[in-house]
Structure 1
Amino acid sequence: MGDATPDQLIEGLARICERVGLSPPTGLTRLTGGATMESWRFSCGEDDFVLRRAPSLAFMEDRPFGHDVEAAVIEAARAAGVTAPQVVAVLEPQDGIGSGFVMRALPGTPNPKEILLFDEADALLKQAARDLARIHSLGRGDVPDAVPVMDYRQAIADLRAQFEEAGGDRPIIALGLKWMADNCPDECEPVLNHGDYRMGNLLAQPGRLTGVLDWELAHFGDRHEDLAFGCMAVWRFARYDRPALGLGSLEDYFAAYEAEAGVSVDRDRFRYWLIHRTVWWALGCLRMAKFWRDGSDRMLERVVISRRTSEQELDLLMLLEEDAPEEERPRTVALPEPPEQVGEATDGELAIAIYDWLGTVKDRFTGHDKFQYAVARNALGMISRYNAAAIPAFENAPLARRIIEGEASLQDQGLLGELREAILATIMQDVPKYPALAVARKMWTGEK
């Protein structure tokens, strides 16, 4: 619930609605999802609205800008023809419900599982490319001065600091950081980036894009960063085979974008930002545990997302391994054998028992509680599969340090195989249903 109860939210929303001339709010319901912010849907008469707010004021302390700036960026995007929601009010301190804003609800679903099953995926891909090009048409004078401009090298340094803060002991992330430092492109004329343009932040109906959401990471930078982010494997969900947003081919996506933007997509810059943002999200996942530990956001989802770091490490190694020597890439690796259990129940078996029991009471949960129920079962699944002995052991922190310093790399004989074995064993415990895992297993182990 963050730092406000539903009753307190209703009271605060009543003050906001009165201030902007809306009828009193009713039917407040917590929406599912949201990796950082909360979303609540409510009605004023016959019209529906969404409250977007931070889980706590402390959570906003290290953000690049506040919700007032985010709201202004959204309104600028709407004026440029982007299918963005209309913001009707920005929360004020006297409202008593924290930091956020209220916007009109849009039709459609943000659920990637539903969207990626729609017919006319090609039409939706073209509309997504169109809206992204329109976002990139906005200039510095169109949005508040608080929207930052990315310094590429500083961005790498910030990620390096984040890596060290998180322990500095993930060799695959170290590989990504070193590759980024060695391959950082020259800065180009900056355009407004949405910063989080992907499935999960797009609303859609069959064949029609109905909304672009979650603008909290907006900044000025390279257009290829936005193009690449939505094409990361993690944001394709079950459609790993469709590299562009899970909707289609990169060729079709680039062609639609180029037609609207009037510029050509640089494939090398696209690859750089694909790797950069994969490292960024890997460290973002790790950081979720920090938010939970320091109390700024105690949502169950935070600690579970932190264990999804292995997804990004898998994706990152698959992106980087094309730079390994030709003789290293064809070598296969073995999967760990599950241990035989005897005697009293293990911790993992206790977790499985609770997981199974929760499956019998699923129908008792509704709304956001149903989402949290699913997250809780995911957490129990991670606990049930955990077996430290199954993960190949090597000194992660020293290896990561040698990689960062350029003393070890994928050019070293056997290192690619060691990292493949380690990440396969880790992700099979953390997220065994991750779509990219099946692809990696086939490539790296020779499975059919």
Structure 2
Amino acid sequence: MGDTSPDQLIEGLARVCARAGLSPPSNLTRLTGGATMESWRFEAGEDAFVLRRAPSLEFMKDRPFGHDVEAAVIRAAYAGGVTAPEVVAELEPEDGIGSGFVMRALPGTPNPKLILEMDDSGALLKQAARDLARIHAVPRDAVPEAVPAMDYRAAIAELRAQFEEAGGDRPIIALGLKWMEDNCPPQAPEPVLNHGDYRMGNLLAEAGKLTGVLDWELAHFGDRHEDLAFGCMAVWRFHRYDRPALGLGSLEDYFAVYEAEAGVRVDRERFRYWLIHRTVWWALGCLRMAKFWREGQDRMLERVVISRRTSENELDLLMLLEEEAPEAERSRTVAVPEAPPQVGEATDGELAIAIYEWLGTVKDRFSGHDKFQYAVARNALGMISRYNAAAIPAFENAPLARRIMAGEATLQDEGLLAELREAILATIMQDVPKYPALAVARKKWTGEN
């Protein structure tokens, strides 16, 4: 299925359109982005639609439900007044183009950079809060029974298993997992439908107005604070680190609109728990991308690059958890590691820089999804060019991670916070030196102006 050609997609879509009473498809175009699923835009008559499908059947194997259930959830949200797309048809085996469904295209852009620069971000934040409250109001009997309910303790155990499978050698992730085990809240008395991925990148907007909520594959029933917190993670605020609610505004404004629409009070402690939980979750999700690539489930270049962005989440996680350390440890400054000067023949990093610079001269030759992949390729070369193993003194440290998980090492220990700060600074400066939270951390931890 991952090797389906555009011509085969058009043939299969023709069968889908005929079944849905639509005109034959035309002008099929692959959309950019999508960490797991493919999206293709096409026209049928005078209307535009989007096909959402898995890049391979392997991608659907371990998922809690299939595209038929996802489509049903979107239909229920749409009926509940959520700014969700209208699903017009699900793919059938006889269509020959795999697993997925077709939605009516919505106006607007999902590009966080463009959305976060729109006028009146406060109005957009209010619309997002309103829509999230409406998602949480969708009743249990409005969606298929296959939509799971989260068991918080089981979810932590699964994340711990993923951590061990990935090597169990990242002390900051270990710190987060141990904190979650020690601070897991009781199950929500009234679980609500969670979107599961409510954040910039999955929201459409146009001229400061919310026009769509996309990507419902992680829907489940659980704590409303999980959805509230996920979009407020630093990694999903992109270049607007200074606006903690979705990159659009303040938490106070976000909570106020949500509380008014939902008729419930936001519990700040539960919100903080889920902010940490989902940061650990996405850190491990990034790590798993390399596993998917190695096993051949999806050989897209984006997978291996995302795996190296684990350090973004680890930086954010340490900044959240350092509140648990004594003041004396929090006030201790650390030095920023520096790479040694290069002499002699060109290093591997310098070869990568040369290719990176050459690619910059041929940018105009790429378009559509190839242009997106071009940008990912340049990011990968940038990571290679900055690699310096000697600058990561304690980052991949399985013995320390095991001691943290066993409760034998904590942020109360003298010097541990400083050690972790130095390690993550060295790593993220190689992986993603332009990550907005890095500038904040450097100023806070090193005393730089």
Normalised by the length of structure 2, the TM-score is: 0.99
Counterpart for residue 155 of structure 1: 155
Per-residue deviation, residues 83-138 of structure 1 (Å, max 9, x unmatched): 00000111111111111110000000000000000001011000000000000001
How far has the Cα of 1:393 moved from its partner? Answer: 3.6
Q: Match for 2:137: what amino acid?
A: S
Contact 1:120 1:206 in 2 (8 A): no
Q: Where does residue 386 of structure 1 map in the other structure?
A: 387
Question: Compared with structure 1, are the counterparts of its residues 78 and 312 closer, same or farther at alpha carbon in structure 2 (3 Å cutoff)?
Answer: same
Paired residue secondary structure (1:360): helix
The residue type paired with residue 174 of structure 1 is A
The offset of 1:207, in angstroms, is 2.3
1:25-424 to 2 correspondence within 5 Å?
25-188=25-188, 189-393=190-394, 396-424=397-425
CA distance in 2, matches of 1:241, 1:228: 16
Counterparts of 2:196 and 2:223, CA distance in 1: 10
Letter in 2 for 1:123: A
Structure 1 residues 247-282: Cα deviation after superposition (integer angstroms, max 9, x where no partner): 000000000000100000000000000000000000
Letter aligned with residue 179 of structure 1: W
User: Runs in 1 of length 4+ with deviation above 2 angstroms?
Assistant: none
Whether the 8 Å CA contact 2:70–2:217 is kept in 1: the answer is: yes
Aligned CA distance change for structure 1 residues 31 and 394 (closer, same or farther; 3 Å):
closer
Q: Distance in 2 between matches of 1:292 and 1:193?
A: 29
1:348 to partner: Cα distance: 0.3
Compute the displacement of 1:3 (Å). Answer: 2.8
Residue 338 of structure 1 deviates from its aligned partner by: 1.6
Distance 1:36 1:394, change over 3 A: closer
Deviation at 1:139, TM superposition (A): 1.9
- Runs of at least 5 residues in structure 2 that lack an aligned partner in the other structure: none
Tell me, yes or no, if the aligned pair for 1:314 and 1:423 is still in contact at 8 Å.
Answer: yes
- Please give the alpha-carbon distance, in whole angstroms, between the structure 1 residues aligned to 2:45 and 2:279: 43
Counterpart CA distance in 1 for 2:157 and 2:4 is 36
Counterpart mapping for 1:421-432 below 5 A = 421-432=422-433
Report the Cα offset of residue 339 of structure 1: 1.2
Structure 2 SS opposite 1:239: coil
Q: Distance in 2 between matches of 1:384 and 1:169?
A: 24
- Tell me the CA shift for residue 2 of structure 1: 2.6
The number of residue pairs the alignment matches comes to: 448
1:300 and 1:233 mapped to 2: Cα distance? 24
**Distance between the aligned counterparts of 1:436 and 1:12, measured in 2?**
45
Offset at residue 340 of structure 1 (A):
0.8
**Aligned partners of 1:355 and 1:9: how far apart in 2?**
34
Cα distance in 2, alignment partners of residues 21 and 40 from structure 1: 19
Distance in structure 1 (CA, Å) of the matches to 2:5 and 2:170: 39
| 3-state SS in 1 of match to 2:204 | strand
For structure 1, the residue ranges without an aligned partner over 5 or more in a row are none
Counterpart of 2:205, as a letter, is A
Structure 1 SS opposite 2:328:
coil
Q: 1:159 to 1:33 in 2, by over 3 A?
A: same
* SS, match of residue 65 in structure 1: coil
Q: Aligned-pair distance for 1:394?
A: 6.8
Quote how far apart the aligned CAs of 1:150 are: 0.2
Three-state SS of the structure 2 residue aligned to 1:159 is helix
- Aligned-pair identity (%): 86
Question: In structure 2, the residue corresponding to 1:328 is in which secondary structure?
Answer: helix
Conserved? CA contact 2:229–2:271, under 8 Å? yes
* TM-score, normalised relative to structure 1: 0.99
Instruction: Return the letter of the residue paired with 1:142.
Output: A
Q: Answer yes or no: is the 8 Å Cα contact 2:395–2:423 preserved in 1.
A: no
Q: Quote the Cα distance in structure 1 between the aligned partners of 2:412 and 2:308.
A: 29
Aligned residue for 1:377, secondary structure, equals helix
Question: What CA distance in whole angstroms lies between the structure 2 residues aligned with 1:395 and 1:244?
Answer: 32
CA contact (8 A) 2:395 2:420 kept: no
Secondary structure of the 1:26 match is: strand
SS of corresponding position for 2:330:
coil
Structure 2: how far apart are the matches of 1:393 and 1:423?
9
Partner Cα distance (1:348, 1:277) in 2:
33
Select between 254-263 and 390-399 the one with higher mean Cα deviation: 390-399
C-alpha separation between the residues in 1 aligned to 2:260 and 2:208? 19
Q: Distance in 1 between matches of 2:306 and 2:403?
A: 28
Is residue 335–residue 421 contact of structure 1 (8 Å, CA) maintained in 2? yes
Counting only pairs closer than 5 Å after superposition, residues 5-44 of structure 1 correspond to structure 2 as 5-44=5-44
C-alpha displacement at 1:395, in angstroms?
A: 6.6
Distance 1:333 1:170 in 2: 20
SS in 2 for 1:23: coil
Q: Kindly provide the amino acid, as one letter, of the partner of residue 311 in structure 2.
A: S
Cα separation, 2, equivalents of 1:337 and 1:168: 27
Write the deviation string for residues 322-350 of structure 1: whole angstroms up to 9, x where unpaired. 00011100110001112111111000000
Secondary structure of the 2:329 match is: coil
Give me the whole-angstrom Cα distance separating, in 2, the residues matched to 1:39 and 1:427.
30
